[in-house]
Structure 1
Amino acid sequence: MNTSSNDFFKDQVLGHPAGLFVLFFTEMWERFSYYGMRAILVIFLISTFDKGGWEWTTERAMGLYGTYTMGVYLTPVLGGLLADKLLGYRWAVIIGAFIMTLGHAAMALETELFLYIGLGCLIIGNGLFKPNMTSMISHLYKDHPEKKDGAYSIFYMGVNAGAFLGIMLCGYIGEKVSWSLGFGLAGIFMFFGMLQFYFTQNIFGQVGLSPTNKSLIKTDEVDHTPSNIIRDRMIVVFIFSIFTVFFWAAFEQAGGSMTIFAEKYTQRILEGNAGFSFKIIDAVLTILPLGIITYVLAKLFSKTFAKYSLGNIILSLSFIIIWGIVIWKVNREFTATETEVPATWFGILNSLFIIIFAPMFSKLWESKYNLPGAIKFGLGLILLGLGFGFLAFGAQSIVSGEDFVRVSMVWLVLAYLFHTLGELCLSPVGLSYVSKLVPAKWIGVMFGIYYLFIAMGNKLAGSMGGMIEKIANEYSLSTFFLIFTIVPIGMGILISALNPIIKKLMHGVR
């Protein structure tokens, strides 16, 4: 089947090609599996034997967490090359998804050997899957560049919808029912995502089917700027990359030390009106997003079911299962005599705040109030540091080893809010500036290098997060979070001060 670009844009769903939503749901289930597993990994490893955990030290658990998150940012470089030279984007996505499914299945067995095998599979599978999903969009929209921003916005919503549902459901089942089921649930939906993509892939025509070395860049788009200007712009990319390391080293505490803080030191048992109010809020936060996504699914069915019935049936089955789990969860919580907020629940706040605030930031960056790149980076780091400042303040009354001292959930909510605002200032901006500053023919390589710096930040996050008990014992838990307050704020001020130099080196790029 050979579908032209115009054919791809023929069937519309909510103003976008139906094929985009095939990618949307595939990515959604992959992010469901990734964030669902990540939410419970560290807390499972450090939990006591009587709670089904392995009683690892925090340092060992965070070290493994850092190595894993570093790996998932390193392998996409190789995955992209394999797709370009050998597999094609589609087969890279399918094989990657299958390997990740095997990884989740291995982790569900709960033995140390299969834990390492599982994480290895997830790292390799992610490397094949992640870069080639976004490459599919680039190729599908190459003749419609004016529609790319909207396409990536829709795709990004799929990312956050998957992260939101994965953390909420895998976290809940892992903590309150069974760790194995939590890990297994992540794998089940990764498998569904792979199947629905495989059986609906003809909607993309020939795009992504065969490997290609052809560049998407037209000859008139190649940068013919003199080399010394090119050099200056590359220096700016290097500067941004260094500051990115500091950002992610702190931000990725979300999967480690912040979850530990939630589990050990946050008051999560609610009584009376507070408990009932949380049950209502939790039910709404669970059902409403799923209802909206189901509506999108119904729209997709109306356009694609006749041609791609098997892929649609598989996708509908996944939603029937997810609705069953959601109804069971909500009913279980409303009939429970005690309201205990899962420690992993706070992880959903990042995705929730992104969905709420991303449109506002997008409009801000397109308005006359748009800020220079260095100032955006600085603001992102400062907001991140302020988020940890709330945790440092809230942890003042906590004495290491005395788990009976628990503080309000408000501190974690505020921390996640400021961290998300910081992420919106820095993360998408960094990627945007790499694409603007680097000559067109070098973009692929420089994105790989940029992700290398992010990988370094993730590894540092694990190493530094593993020091939480040591610092808390020698000084205090508040001191631990104060380090993550002072360093990002200091780096934010520094890069903001460098703005005049950076602006000069950018040679007119805005």
Structure 2
Amino acid sequence: MNTDIENLFKDKVLGHPAGLFVLFFTEMWERFSYYGMRALLVLFLISSITDGGFGWEKAEALSLYGTYTMGVYLTPVIGGLIADKLLGYRWAVILGALIMTLGHAAMAFETPLMLYVGLGCLMVGNGLFKPNMTSIISNMYKDHEEKKDGAYSIFYMGVNAGAFLGIMLCGYIGENYSWSLGFGLAGIFMFLGMLQFYFTQNIFGSIGLSPKKKLALDSETIGKDGDQDFVEVNEEEASSKVVFDRLIAVGVFCVFTVFFWAAFEQAGGSMTIFAEEYTQRNLVGGYGTLFKYVDALLTIIPLGIITYVLYILFKKTFAKYAVGNIILAVSFLVIWGIVGWKINRDFSNDQVEVPATWFGILNSLFIITLAPLFSKWWESKYNMSGPLKFGFGLLLLGLGFGFLSMGSQSIVAGEPIMKVSMFWLIAAYLFHTMGELCISPVSLSYISKLVPAKWIGFMFGVYYLFIAMGNKLAGTVGSYIEEIEKAYSISGFFLIFTVIPIVAGLLIAGLNPLMKKLMHGVK
């Protein structure tokens, strides 16, 4: 029995340890910075020099976008090893957050050199940060396997709360005021997230400490209690055959993850371009007024829900971790101030032009709305096996691109650009989100269940390596958008991302019996 884990489960927030929500908010600010910057990157690069951009060609911008998103998922392989062998999960998270803060600051200078310096820092920092956040959760729930799926779904809601706010606010400020301010705002909240985690990290007990500190603490505990049961290294080990089979199952999940992210990551590339150039975003009269109210509610309600979660966390943790809680409170006060300014500005303008980056918030909004329902589904008797969840998720992803392919059929290359209804993008993001909820948080949960504890950090890094492949493939294929549009149509471009995920989904669903055998009872 691990006393740190049991102590964590004594103070609960919404049925889970308070420590989960410390990670929730830390990850939320990191995702705020990542998605806020990502929403602007391609638009900034392809904008004309007179508009403050770099004036790059679409293919060039999308290729860099693919390389960058590949890099942020490639570096966790090394970051996981560094944490496992040297720093520990907690200091890896802190150092990674600091390096990412410097990266955002560099990008705010808007020069080619600082762009590359900034992107490099973001890749390195993310490598230290990302795998080790999920590793901390894995260790927290090692004696509560039945709650892992729900925990990762809640954590994923934090991920998307940050993405929602980052895209909404950084995108809005970047498009309407200054690219530098948009990039800079991302860095500010990355820094605040790092401080909040640093001052609250003791809530995790010995979880996430460096190997040397962990060993010293375990030795001290044994000396006092004389009880070997407190030492994690004596946990029951599965046979080598079972471990090998389970690692094969992890490998299969990783391969199909590539198909998912190669399509899903069109959101920051070709789908953003589709929103910018092919979507009717100018609203007048009653439609414009309706959008103002809907947009205001879509901003206030989720932020209000997240603030309520923060209030519950305060009641549980403020007495012991006042500094971290105060920093978190200040962060939210600033966010509420920016949101109030944005809403006031929108209602002061008669004309409404929906920002191209606005559509990116839909994914996060739908996740914030649907994640609790999916979490309950995974904990109910109607829960599906991992391969079936993957298959269903890929099917939903393909159907989402089907909406874009259908909606863009009237657009003909070489003719005046026709603007299509926003409905097609909204429908696509809805189906993509449901597909993501079936794959991404579930992948994290299954890796933590199938992989031996001592390899957790490294295997999360390997998982992100496959996501990196998918992201680079997304950028590479996306860079051919103009060529495919000229040769066929924009509808044909999105049809590629309709067919491939559906075929992949049917394939992994068909492997369900074999995968169950390889997982040896892990559900």
Task: Indicate whether the TM-score tops 0.5.
Answer: yes
Deviations 1:293-314 (A, max 9, x none): 2233333334444444433332
Number of matched pairs: 506
Give the stretch that moved more between structures: 315-324 or 441-450. Answer: 441-450
Could you say what secondary structure the match of 2:110 adopts? coil
- 1:146 deviates by 6.0
Map residues 452-467 of structure 1 onto 2, 5 A cutoff.
452-467=465-480
Q: Distance in 2 between matches of 1:29 and 1:230?
A: 36
Match of 2:238 among 215, 223, 226: 223
The amino acid that maps onto 1:242 is: V
Instruction: Give the match for residue 225 of structure 2.
Output: none
The answer (yes or no) to whether the contact 2:411–2:417 under 8 Å persists in 1 is no
**1:292 corresponds to:** 305
Q: Would you say the 8 A contact 1:223–1:440 is kept in 2?
A: no
Match of 2:290 in 1: 277
Aligned position for 1:98: 98
Q: Which residue of structure 2 lines up, in the alignment, with residue 425 of structure 1?
A: 438
The answer to whether the 8 A contact 2:153-2:372 is kept is no
Q: Structure 2: how far apart are the matches of 1:420 and 1:456?
A: 20
Task: Provide the residue aligned with 1:481 in structure 2.
Answer: 494
Q: CA 1:358/1:141 → structure 2, altered by over 3 Å: closer, same or farther?
A: closer
Deviation at 1:272, TM superposition (A): 1.2
Bigger shift: residues 265-274 or 492-501 = 492-501
1:471 corresponds, among 484, 487, 511, to 484
Identical columns (%): 73
Matches of 1:373 and 1:10, distance apart in 2: 30
Distance 2:246 2:208 in 1: 32
State the shift of 1:365 in Å. Answer: 3.6
Q: Structure 1 residue 440: deviation in Å? A: 5.4
After superposition, residues 47-62 of structure 1 pair within 5 angstroms as 47-62=47-62
Contact persistence 1:221–1:440 (CA under 8 A): no
Structure 2 unmatched ranges of 5 or more: 219-230
- Find the counterpart in structure 1 of residue 224 from structure 2: none
Separation in 2 of the partners of 1:490 and 1:133?
A: 33
Q: Structure 2 CA distance, aligned partners of 1:9 and 1:42? A: 43
Please give the secondary structure, in 1, of the residue aligned with 2:59: helix
Relative to structure 1, the CA distance from residue 385 to residue 368 in structure 2 (aligned partners, 3 Å threshold; closer, same or farther) is same
Q: What letter matches 1:311 in structure 2?
A: G
> What secondary structure is seen at the aligned counterpart in 2 of 1:396?
coil
Maintained 8 Å contact 2:257/2:466: yes
The whole-number CA distance in structure 1 between the counterparts of 2:149 and 2:509 is 27
Mark the CA change 1:450 to 1:143 in structure 2 (over 3 Å): closer, same or farther: closer
Single out whichever of 111-120 and 22-31 deviates more from structure 2. Answer: 22-31
For residues 7 and 377 of structure 2, the distance between their equivalents in structure 1, rounded to whole angstroms, comes to 35
- Paired with 2:138 and 2:257, the residues of 1 have a C-alpha distance of 25
Cα gap change, 1:143 to 1:171, in 2 (>3 Å): same
> How far 1:246 sits from its partner (Å)?
1.3
1:450 correspondence with 2:463: yes
Q: TM-score, normalised by structure 2?
A: 0.89
C-alpha contact (below 8 Å) 1:101/1:187 kept by paired residues: yes
The worse-fitting range, judged by mean Cα deviation, of 265-274 and 448-457 is 448-457
Q: Which residue of 2 aligns with 1:119?
A: 119
The question of whether the paired residues in 2 share the 8 Å contact of 1:28 and 1:162 is answered with: yes
Query: For the structure 1 residues 493 and 208, does the alpha-carbon distance in structure 2 shift closer, same or farther, using more than 3 Å as the test?
Result: closer
8 Å contact from structure 2 (residues 259, 470) kept in 1:
yes
1:356 is aligned to 369
Instruction: Establish whether residue 78 from structure 1 lines up as the match of residue 78 from structure 2.
Output: yes
Alpha-carbon distance, 1:217 to partner: 5.4
Match of 2:420, SS? Answer: coil
Give the C-alpha shift of residue 438 in structure 1: 4.5
Specify the alignment match of 2:221 in structure 1: none
Deviations 1:162-202 (A, max 9, x none): 11111111111111111111100000111111122223334
Report SS of the residue matched to 2:290. helix
Q: 1:498 to 1:38 in 2, by over 3 A?
A: same
For residues 245 and 146 of structure 2, the distance between their equivalents in structure 1, rounded to whole angstroms, comes to: 29
Which is further off, 305-314 or 5-14? 5-14
Q: Is the 8 A contact 1:89 1:211 kept in 2?
A: no
Distance 2:19 2:235 in 1: 29
Per-residue deviation, 1:443: 4.7
Q: CA deviation at 1:239?
A: 2.9
TM-score norm. by structure 1 comes to 0.91
Q: CA deviation at 1:331?
A: 0.6
User: For residue 210 of structure 1, what is the aligned residue in structure 2?
Assistant: 210
C-alpha spacing 1:460/1:153, structure 2 compared with 1 (3 Å): closer
Q: Structure 2 CA distance, aligned partners of 1:380 and 1:303?
A: 36
Do the aligned partners of 1:249 and 1:458 also contact (CA within 8 Å) in 2? yes
Q: State the alpha-carbon separation in 1 of the partners of residues 294 and 16 from structure 2.
A: 32
1:26-425 matches, cutoff 5 A: 26-142=26-142, 148=148, 151-212=151-212, 219-224=234-239, 227=241, 231-400=244-413, 404-425=417-438
User: Alpha carbons of 1:82 and 1:444: their partners in 2 closer, same or farther (altered >3 Å)?
Assistant: closer
- 1:378 touches 1:495 (CA, 8 Å); kept in 2? yes
C-alpha distance 325-73 of structure 1, shift in aligned 2 (>3 A): same
